[in-house]
Structure 1
């Protein structure tokens, strides 16, 4: 669901600098409100003016490309996943800042380090991540006599049983080929990695989709679509809120989704929220759990005329008291990328969210098991992967032809980037 941009500006201090920061419209809006409150305090203390814009995260990459061309725009920007690799030539090194933040908050998870530490230099500040556990209707599962699924095969079987019990489309996973849907990507990588597959080889350039693992993944998606989703054609139109609405409508029984759907339900529909359960990411074919972690960071652009001031703001936002107040404001949606907070009571004392911190233990970047690279980020933004899956489950293409076409599309994409001098 596209959200309208919001522009906020602190009290103007004539003659002082204007610092501009851009972020997303969070699915936990209270965290945006807390961040704005903190920015206002910083601006008043420093006697500067700060413009804080939040907007739909899906359009941010396009706007970033525009400001890189113009060498003008925001001082601090919201970056997703391995974007620091993609924009590394344009991002200001923040080695000293990350060093100080780690001294205060401790060791980072591997996926946070791998996404932001680019060829020996920190190109962005790790900010937060969010998990995609299984979220399900406990009452539907109990009535059908099935337990919360341990692995993807059990998700498929639970869906089959639930359909027999009168739920025509119990499982919901978006497979939109026109819009970026993180929910699809998380499910895709979890299943692919469980079969031992990957998208790119270790060189970060060669497609790795021509493999038995990809074929098994596509065949499993087809089974999932037919047996557990009941061939629900709406999944091809869902944006990132589609599966949330599907579950909250009462029609859906299981989705792979951040806990934001539960947070919203607890605030607005407590009786309904009590029927929701949360379980760990389903294990793959090999019995192990894999999670494509949604990781977010903050970068400072080289063209910024306020680099040191931008670093000062980030230092303030990452002071323990300030940072943890912001984390708490999101009701557990935003998880710190620092290992020391795994036992934070925000999650462990919550009746539904205990599994969330543990999801980081098997979290990876999209490049995994290959090293982080910029081509992986480019492939994810190209929608080649959802098109591959949709061609099999919706259009009747064979897995062999679908993965061959996807591999060729990736080769063309990387060749184009190489020709343009992209690393």
Structure 2
């Protein structure tokens, strides 16, 4: 695999066997005491600020002390904005020091194969114990030879929408728009009523790519052929998707969404200034957590007026892209053995269950066992997220989600293709530009 230069890494970041291990974590959990080797070991775990605050609170208040008790590891958890993680990763790799473990979003692990530790023993053990991984969790963290990271979770990406407002424009409960034409027509009526849809086409890790890629696929567009080398973005299908987007954006969307990040649409929806947006379940969960703060124009709890739906169908089908996360163990770490035991421990069923419960369905586990959890019996509004990860594709389609796909994603090429057209560039020119950029990545 080709090595990425330091300059390229800074550009991408935006800132410059198994059997022997199988019973190991079970023994630790059973004994409830730290293994002797790990005494006084410290670990630094860098991850994102979760959109579900109670999950971060659990990690800091319960998991940190439990980790020291169970493993003898003094755990430091640092939480930063998800959009800043890639820059921190690059900086740490370049300096040869930093967090021992970094939570990677999307297929970022594919960018750093020479700089991470092979965690195949950990990943295979957890996968075997928990019903196997979703395809998406595997393709982003495994390069076909080894596991570059230990899968952690998948954030389901679905449309959150105001039930009552859609009813007003002719779409009662159970009859959400099924295709892009219907969705655009509904959006035009909603915008006329002062309730535009909300979407970002900005440089942000979550909402922009999880919208733009499935939208392109639904029209039949794709980056490359199955060989992973032949770039075919400049197609009639892709061009049609861009042309449709330019009119759709003006008809239905809050046009200021171009500058939004992954939290802007949350704020817009919760404040009542947008009617529908692609997101994880954090909008609904936050509204439910604070029913007296977030209310409708009628004064009723907002959460009671929120439902979820998948992105609409296109001529080529209906697709989703749900955000995977995995934990990379950096090669410069001097605590690699302890770090692997920590990854085994934190992703074990007993320990992970506590974190999963606080998520309330905002994420599904990276393994299929979590679909069977009793959590899904608690709230029918959350049920669409239960199996969302089974319907996902991933950037790089129809080729692999490899380093090239990760680079295209990190450079926001597909998102910028649509953004340029929305801002006035001819659809054909926007597609030609994007095709050239993707081709340069694959050169």
TM > 0.5 = yes
For structure 2, the residue ranges without an aligned partner over 5 or more in a row are 1-37, 293-300
Q: Deviations over 1:86-116 (max 9, x none)?
A: 1111111111111211222111111111111
Aligned-residue RMSD, C-alpha: 1.9
Query: 3-state DSSP class of the match of 2:382?
Result: coil
Cα shift at 1:136: 0.5
Instruction: Indicate the residue corresponding to 2:420 in structure 1.
Output: 391
Q: Is the 8 A contact 2:41 2:338 kept in 1?
A: no
Number of aligned residues: 394
Query: Residue 83 of structure 2 aligns to a residue in which SS?
Result: helix
Q: Does 1:175 align with 2:201?
A: yes
Matched residue, 2:153: 128
CA distance in 2, matches of 1:411, 1:60: 26
Secondary structure of 2:114's aligned partner: helix
Counterpart in the other structure of 2:310 = 280
What is the aligned partner in structure 2 of residue 73 from structure 1? 98
Say if 2:64 and 2:76, in contact at 8 Å, map to a contact too.
Answer: no
Cα distance between partner residues in 2 of 1:341 and 1:281: 23
TM-score scaled by structure 2? 0.84
Counterpart-to-counterpart distance in 2, 1:103 and 1:379: 32
Partner of 2:345: 316
2:225 alignment counterpart: 201
Counterpart residue number, 1:52: 77
C-alpha distance in structure 1 between counterparts of 2:377 and 2:237, whole Å: 36
Counterpart mapping for 1:346-357 below 5 A: 346-357=375-386
Q: TM-score, normalised to structure 1's length?
A: 0.88
Query: Does the Cα contact within 8 Å between 2:177 and 2:183 map onto a contact in 1?
Result: yes
Is 1:237 equivalent to 2:259 in the alignment?
yes
Distance 1:45 1:163, change over 3 A: closer
Partner of 1:289: 318
1:225 aligns with 2:225: no
Specify the SS of the correspondent of 1:53.
strand
Give the C-alpha shift of residue 205 in structure 1.
Answer: 4.4
| Alpha-carbon displacement from aligned partner over 1:329-357 (angstroms, at most 9, x marks no partner) | 12211211222322333234313111112
Q: Check if 1:379 corresponds to 2:408.
A: yes
> Hey, what does 1:157 align to over in structure 2?
185
1:311 offset after TM fit, Å? 0.8
| Counterpart for residue 299 of structure 1 | 328
Task: Please give the residue correspondences for 1:28-39 in structure 2 after superposition, counting only pairs within 5 Å.
Answer: 28-36=52-60, 37-39=62-64
Contact 2:281 2:362 in 1 (8 A): yes
C-alpha contact 1:134 1:282 (8 A) present in aligned 2: no
Which SS does the other structure have where 1:111 is aligned?
A: helix
CA positional deviation for 1:292 = 1.4
**What is the CA distance between 1:15 and its match in structure 2?**
8.3
SS at match of 1:342: helix
The Cα of 1:413 is off from its aligned counterpart by 4.3
Secondary structure of 2:208's counterpart equals helix
TM-fit CA distance, 1:253? 1.0
The answer on 1:254 being equivalent to 2:282 is no
For the structure 1 residues 203 and 66, does the alpha-carbon distance in structure 2 shift closer, same or farther, using more than 3 Å as the test? farther
1:358 corresponds to 2:387:
yes
The answer as to whether partners of 2:103 and 2:325 remain within 8 angstroms in 1 is yes
Name the residue aligned to 1:63.
Answer: 88
Give, in angstroms, the shift of residue 203 of structure 1.
Answer: 4.2
Given that residues 205 and 375 in structure 1 are in contact (C-alpha distance below 8 angstroms), is that contact kept between their aligned partners in structure 2? no
| 1: CA distance, partners of 2:111 / 2:167 | 46
Structure 1 residue corresponding to 2:435, chosen from 407, 412, 415:
407
What CA deviation, in whole Å up to 9, does each residue of 1:112-163 have, x standing for no partner? Answer: 1111121221111110001111110011111222242223222212112223
Q: Decide whether the 8 Å contact of 1:43 with 1:50 is kept in 2.
A: yes
* Contact 1:84/1:116 (8 A) holds in 2: yes
Q: Which whole-Å CA distance do the structure 2 matches of 1:46 and 1:32 have between them?
A: 20
The yes-or-no answer on 1:142 pairing with 2:172 is no
